[in-house]
Structure 1
Amino acid sequence: MKLFKQLLVAPAALGILAPMSAGATDVNVAGVSDYASVSSDAAAAEQVTSINQFNDVFPADWAYQALSNLIERYGCVAGYPNGTFRGNRAMTRFEAAALLNACLDRVTEVTDELKRLIKEFEKELAIVKGRVDGLEARVGELEATQFSTTTKIDGQATFDIGANTFGGDLFFTQANVDKITSHFPDISSIYFPTGVAGSSDRNYQENASREYGATTFNYDYQLFLNTSFTGKDLLSASIRSGNFGDDNAFNGNPTNLSTLEVASNSGTSLYIDKLFYNFPLGETFTIFVGPNVGQDDMMPMWPSVYPSGDGNTVLDVLTLNGAPGAYNKTQGPGVALNYENNGWNVGLQYVCDLDTCTGSNPRDGGIAADSSKGVGTFQIGYEGEQWGFAGIYSWLQSPSLVPYATSYTQLSYAQDLDMSLNAFGLAAYWQPEESGWIPAISAGWGLNTTNFANDNVADSYVSTSQSWQVAVHWDDAFIQGNSAGMAVGQATFATDLKGADTPFDGNYVWEWYYGFQVTDNITLTPSMFYLSRPLGQLTFDGVDGKDGTFRQFGGLIRTTFTF
Structure 2
Amino acid sequence: MQINFGLPRQKWDRFTMAASVWGLALTANLPLISTAVAQNEPMEEMNSVSELADVRPSDWAYSALQGLADRYGCLLAYPDGTYKGNQALTRYQFAAGVDACLNAIQTQIASAVSEISSQDLQQMQRLQEEFAAELATMRARVDGLEVRTAELEGQQFSATTKLVGTAIFSVTDAWGDGTDMEPSFQERVRLLFNSSFTGNDLLISFIQVGNSDLFNLPGETGEGTLTSQVLGDTDNEVALAMAYVFPLSEQLKVSLVTNTGVLSFFTPTVNPYFDDLDDGTTSISTFAQHNPIYRLGAGAALALNYKVSDSLTLTGGYSASEGPTPEPGKGLFNGNYAAIGQLTWKPAEPFAIGLTYINSYFGTGDFAYGFGTDLSYVGTDVANTLNGLRDNFPVVANSYGVQTALALNPKVALSGWVGLTKARLIGLGDADIWTYAVGLALPDLGKQGNLGGLIVGSAPTLRGLDVPGSPSFNHDWAYHVEGFYKYQATDHISVTPGLIWLPAPNQDQDNPDVFMGTLRTTLSF
TM-score (norm 2): 0.71
Counterpart of 1:362 in structure 2 is 328
Q: Are the equivalent residues in 2 in contact too, given 1:228–1:234 (CA < 8 A)?
A: yes
Measured after TM superposition, the shift of residue 98 of structure 1 is 8.9
Measured after TM superposition, the shift of residue 453 of structure 1 is 3.5
Q: Give aligned-pair identity as a percent.
A: 20
Deviations 1:24-54 (CA, angstroms, capped at 9, x unpaired): xxxxxxxxxxxxxxxxxxxxxxxxx967069
Task: Specify which of 435, 439, 448 is matched with residue 467 of structure 1.
Answer: 435
Structure 1 residues 217, 100: closer, same or farther in 2, change over 3 A? farther
Q: Are the equivalent residues in 2 in contact too, given 1:306–1:471 (CA < 8 A)?
A: no
Counterpart of 2:245 in structure 1 is 278
Counterpart of 1:445 in structure 2 is 418
Q: Are the equivalent residues in 2 in contact too, given 1:409–1:462 (CA < 8 A)?
A: no
Aligned AA (1:443): G
Counterpart of 1:396 in structure 2 is 360
Counterpart of 1:162 in structure 2 is 172
Q: Are the equivalent residues in 2 in contact too, given 1:513–1:526 (CA < 8 A)?
A: yes
Mapped pair 1:554 → 2:516: yes
Mapped pair 1:313 → 2:332: no
What is the distance in 2 between the residues matched to 1:67 and 1:450?
65
Counterpart of 1:409 in structure 2 is 383
1:206-225 alignment, distance < 5 Å = 208-209=179-180, 213-225=181-193
Structure 1 residues 470, 130: closer, same or farther in 2, change over 3 A? closer
Measured after TM superposition, the shift of residue 166 of structure 1 is 2.6
Counterpart of 1:429 in structure 2 is 405
Aligned AA (1:141): G
Measured after TM superposition, the shift of residue 492 of structure 1 is 1.5
Deviations 1:108-156 (CA, angstroms, capped at 9, x unpaired): 754676589879999x9998798677546535533xxx44212121121
Counterpart of 1:138 in structure 2 is 151
Q: Are the equivalent residues in 1 in contact too, given 2:274–2:288 (CA < 8 A)?
A: no
Coordinate RMSD, CA, aligned? 4.0
Q: Are the equivalent residues in 2 in contact too, given 1:305–1:441 (CA < 8 A)?
A: no
What is the distance in 2 between the residues matched to 1:129 and 1:402?
55
Aligned AA (1:528): L
Task: Specify which of 254, 257, 261 is matched with residue 220 of structure 2.
Answer: 254
Structure 1 residues 53, 333: closer, same or farther in 2, change over 3 A? closer
Mapped pair 1:267 → 2:235: yes
What is the distance in 1 between the residues matched to 2:210 and 2:338?
27
Q: Are the equivalent residues in 2 in contact too, given 1:511–1:528 (CA < 8 A)?
A: yes
Structure 1 residues 405, 515: closer, same or farther in 2, change over 3 A? closer
Counterpart of 2:16 in structure 1 is none
Mapped pair 1:241 → 2:209: yes
Paired residue total:
425
Counterpart of 1:289 in structure 2 is 256
Measured after TM superposition, the shift of residue 67 of structure 1 is 11
What is the distance in 2 between the residues matched to 1:555 and 1:254?
18
Higher percent of residues as helix: 1
What is the distance in 2 between the residues matched to 1:420 and 1:159?
37
Mapped pair 1:333 → 2:300: yes
What is the distance in 1 between the residues matched to 2:134 and 2:314?
65
SS state at 1:376 partner: strand
Q: Are the equivalent residues in 1 in contact too, given 2:340–2:357 (CA < 8 A)?
A: yes
Structure 1 residues 328, 113: closer, same or farther in 2, change over 3 A? same
When structure 1 is superposed on structure 2, of 375-384 and 400-409 the one drifting more is 400-409
Deviations 1:304-355 (CA, angstroms, capped at 9, x unpaired): 133233433121022123xx22x126331100111123121000000111xx
What is the distance in 2 between the residues matched to 1:522 and 1:140?
27
1:20-419 alignment, distance < 5 Å = 52=63, 61=70, 64-65=73-74, 73=101, 101-102=115-116, 106=120, 109-110=123-124, 114=128, 135=148, 138-139=151-152, 141-142=154-155, 146-167=156-177, 205=178, 208-209=179-180, 213-245=181-213, 248-249=215-216, 254-263=220-229, 264-272=232-240, 274-292=241-259, 293-299=261-267, 301-309=268-276, 310-321=280-291, 324-325=292-293, 327-328=294-295, 330-340=297-307, 341-353=309-321, 356-363=322-329, 365-369=330-334, 372-383=335-346, 384-398=348-362, 400-403=367-370, 404-412=378-386, 414-419=390-395
Unaligned runs of at least 5 residues, structure 2 = 1-27, 35-59, 78-96, 106-110, 371-377
TM-score (norm 1): 0.66
What is the distance in 1 between the residues matched to 2:64 and 2:127?
28
Q: Are the equivalent residues in 2 in contact too, given 1:427–1:445 (CA < 8 A)?
A: yes
Aligned AA (1:361): E
What is the distance in 2 between the residues matched to 1:133 and 1:447?
58
SS state at 1:409 partner: helix
Measured after TM superposition, the shift of residue 254 of structure 1 is 3.0
Aligned AA (1:518): A
Structure 1 residues 51, 525: closer, same or farther in 2, change over 3 A? closer
Aligned AA (1:52): S
What is the distance in 2 between the residues matched to 1:269 and 1:330?
23
